[in-house]
């Protein structure tokens, strides 16, 4: 893709409203547009980053579950069955009445909707257990702050599992913990697994995945051993329960949450199955969330420098940028040829075809592109292409080596 064709507007100016680095860089790098009041739009550049994160999540979730889509506009009846109508997280519900004076909400979560979706599938113990998940928008009338970290409209992956007994639940819950661990490691995050309270979701047990960050609203203890993911909310703990190492007091951002719901929803909403003895029992449930758009902010908070964002290869919208440092026809033609060949080989390439050389370098760094392929004096004089990594290190390659160099 050529830069002149990319729908993304970068900015050099810092706006007074930014209250954290990730909010500033998301706007300055052209990922999002802030509509105000905790609502954001994504440019094509931002959408590509969001798609990459969703792809990492889907790769793991498809191994253990099936993707579905549930309704965003929900009537009040099923929420009244569960006892959560107008009783979810205080005043965070968006509610409205339709033309027939019926009550509706714009979905803040989908526990109730998932029960209704699977109701016809579950008859006996033979229909259990299984996982469904979706990636989509949620709406909560929260106090908007810190950009994508706390908005009124946001992207989320939510999954729901259904079981005949607690042994099945425990096995799936552990499987989901491992899947989340793999997801966050692939996204290049530093994080901990922390035991937590269930809150308005109900149920018996939950775990949070916390990404360490100074701007995080939660305080917890993390193990100082870099190979250990243990974390604790009990600030009185002195040693890691998994490896015996010291614990460190840190702040963090919640990026994922797992809830053992038990029979909290099935008993109230009459979701039952027949066991092997013909006895009717309540289905046992769990739910699992990942804040997808929030992940963009968390990743930026942990991966940035004075020049902009430093994505890893799984997240970055582009594998490399091509910068024409001289405007002779030979450099321009080679840049376009290189762009076409790398694109044909499956790489995402951004060709900077406008602006000064300094602006091209600065914008590539601001967007977090990991490699800059430079056609300048060295190419014109020695037929050598320079490649600069995001950290400033440079090396040389010939035309045929570029794909391997960029992909490394």
In the predicted model, is pLDDT for residue 198 greater than 80?
no
Show the tokens assigned to 147.
């950009």
- In the chain, pLDDT over 70 holds for what percent of residues? 96
Output 87-96 pairs: Cβ under 8 A, ≥24 positions apart. Answer: 87/200, 88/200, 89/140, 89/199, 89/200, 91/141, 92/140, 92/141, 92/142, 93/140, 93/141, 94/139, 94/140, 94/141
Query: In the structure, what pLDDT confidence band is assigned to residue 14 with cuts at 50, 70 and 90?
Result: low
As a whole number of angstroms, the distance between CA 48 and CA 250 comes to 31
Q: pLDDT value at position 202? A: 47
Query: In the structure, what pLDDT confidence band is assigned to residue 15 with cuts at 50, 70 and 90?
Result: low
As a whole number of angstroms, the distance between CA 199 and CA 86 comes to 15
**Mean pLDDT within 345-370:** 95
In the predicted model, is pLDDT for residue 115 greater than 90?
yes
In the predicted model, is pLDDT for residue 180 greater than 80?
yes
In the predicted model, is pLDDT for residue 19 greater than 80?
yes
Q: Contact 262/204 with Cβ under 8 angstroms?
A: yes
Query: In the structure, what pLDDT confidence band is assigned to residue 366 with cuts at 50, 70 and 90?
Result: very high
- Tokens 């729901």 locate to 160
As a whole number of angstroms, the distance between CA 107 and CA 102 comes to 16
Q: If DSSP codes are grouped into helix, strand and coil, which group holds residue 92?
A: coil
Q: If DSSP codes are grouped into helix, strand and coil, which group holds residue 63?
A: helix
Peptide bond connecting 129 to the previous residue in cis, omega within 30 degrees of 0: yes
Count H helices and E strands in the chain, helices first: 11, 23
Q: pLDDT value at position 205? A: 78
Burial class of 117 by CB neighbour count within 10 A (0 to 12, 13 to 18, 19+): middle
Q: pLDDT value at position 200? A: 47
Q: What is the Rg, in whole angstroms, of the alpha carbon atoms belonging to the chain? A: 24
Q: pLDDT value at position 89? A: 62
- Closest-CA residue to 338 (of 363, 375, 305, 301): 375
In the predicted model, is pLDDT for residue 201 greater than 50?
no
- Bridge-based pairing state of the strands 218-223 and 230-232: antiparallel
**Weakest mean pLDDT among 111-125, 303-317, 393-407:** 393-407
Q: How many CA atoms lie within 13 A of 139 on its CB side?
A: 13
As a whole number of angstroms, the distance between CA 241 and CA 231 comes to 9
Q: Contact 105/82 with Cβ under 8 angstroms?
A: no
Q: Contact 27/14 with Cβ under 8 angstroms?
A: no
Query: In the structure, what pLDDT confidence band is assigned to residue 33 with cuts at 50, 70 and 90?
Result: very high
**Mean pLDDT within 119-146:** 95
pLDDT digits (tens, 9 = 90+) for 334-348: 899 999 999 998 999
Show the tokens assigned to 375.
């056609």
Query: In the structure, what pLDDT confidence band is assigned to residue 197 with cuts at 50, 70 and 90?
Result: low
pLDDT digits (tens, 9 = 90+) for 50-81: 999 999 999 999 999 999 999 999 999 999 99
In the predicted model, is pLDDT for residue 357 greater than 50?
yes
Domains in the chain: ranges and CATH: 11-305 (3.30.930.10), 320-407 (3.40.50.800)
Q: Contact 213/253 with Cβ under 8 angstroms?
A: yes
In the predicted model, is pLDDT for residue 13 greater than 90?
no
Give the mean pLDDT of the chain.
Answer: 92
- Closest-CA residue to 372 (of 406, 343, 346, 399): 406
As a whole number of angstroms, the distance between CA 77 and CA 143 comes to 27
Query: In the structure, what pLDDT confidence band is assigned to residue 350 with cuts at 50, 70 and 90?
Result: very high
**Mean pLDDT within 294-303:** 98
Of the two residues 295 and 395, the one the predictor is more confident about is: 295
Of the two residues 168 and 19, the one the predictor is more confident about is: 168
Q: Contact 221/247 with Cβ under 8 angstroms?
A: yes
In the predicted model, is pLDDT for residue 179 greater than 90?
yes
């Amino acid at each position: 893709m050529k830069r002149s064709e990319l729908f993304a507007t970068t900015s050099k100016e810092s706006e007074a409203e930014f209250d954290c680095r990730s909010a500033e860089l998301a706007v300055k790098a052209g990922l999002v547009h802030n509509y105000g009041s905790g609502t954001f739009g994504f440019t094509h550049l931002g959408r590509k980053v969001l798609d990459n994160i969703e792809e990492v999540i889907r790769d793991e979730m498809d191994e253990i579950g099936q993707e579905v889509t549930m309704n965003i506009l929900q009537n009040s009846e099923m929420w009244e069955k569960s006892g959560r109508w107008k009783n979810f997280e205080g005043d965070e519900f968006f509610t409205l009445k339709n033309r027939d004076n019926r009550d509706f909400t714009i979905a803040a979560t989908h526990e109730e909707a998932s029960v209704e979706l699977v109701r016809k599938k579950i008859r006996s113990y033979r229909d259990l257990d299984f996982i469904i998940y979706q990636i989509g928008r949620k709406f909560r009338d929260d106090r908007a702050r810190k950009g994508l970290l706390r908005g009124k409209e946001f992207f989320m992956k939510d999954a729901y599992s259904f079981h005949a007994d607690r042994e099945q639940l425990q096995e799936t819950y552990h499987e989901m913990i491992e899947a989340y661990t793999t997801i966050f490691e692939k996204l290049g995050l530093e994080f901990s697994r922390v035991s937590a309270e269930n809150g308005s979701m109900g149920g018996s047990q939950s775990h949070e995945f916390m990404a360490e960050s100074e701007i995080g609203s939660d305080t917890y203890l993390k193990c100082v051993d870099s190979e250990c993911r243990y974390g604790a909310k009990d600030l009185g703990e002195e040693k890691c329960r998994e490896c015996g190492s010291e614990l460190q007091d840190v702040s963090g951002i919640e990026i994922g949450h797992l809830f053992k719901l038990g029979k909290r929803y099935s008993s109230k909403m009459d979701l039952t199955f027949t066991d092997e003895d013909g006895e009717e029992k309540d289905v046992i449930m769990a739910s699992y969330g990942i804040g997808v758009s929030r992940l963009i902010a968390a990743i930026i908070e942990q991966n940035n420098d004075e020049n902009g964002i430093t994505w890893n290869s799984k997240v970055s919208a582009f594998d490399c940028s091509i910068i024409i440092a001289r405007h002779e026809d030979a450099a321009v033609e080679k840049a376009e040829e290189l762009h076409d060949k790398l694109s044909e080989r499956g790489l995402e390439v951004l060709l900077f075809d406008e602006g000064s050389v300094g602006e091209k370098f600065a914008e590539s760094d601001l967007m977090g592109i990991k490699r800059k392929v430079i056609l300048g004096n060295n190419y014109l004089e020695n037929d050598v292409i320079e490649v600069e990594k995001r950290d400033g290190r440079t090396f040389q390659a010939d035309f045929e080596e570029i794909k391997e160099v960029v992909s490394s």
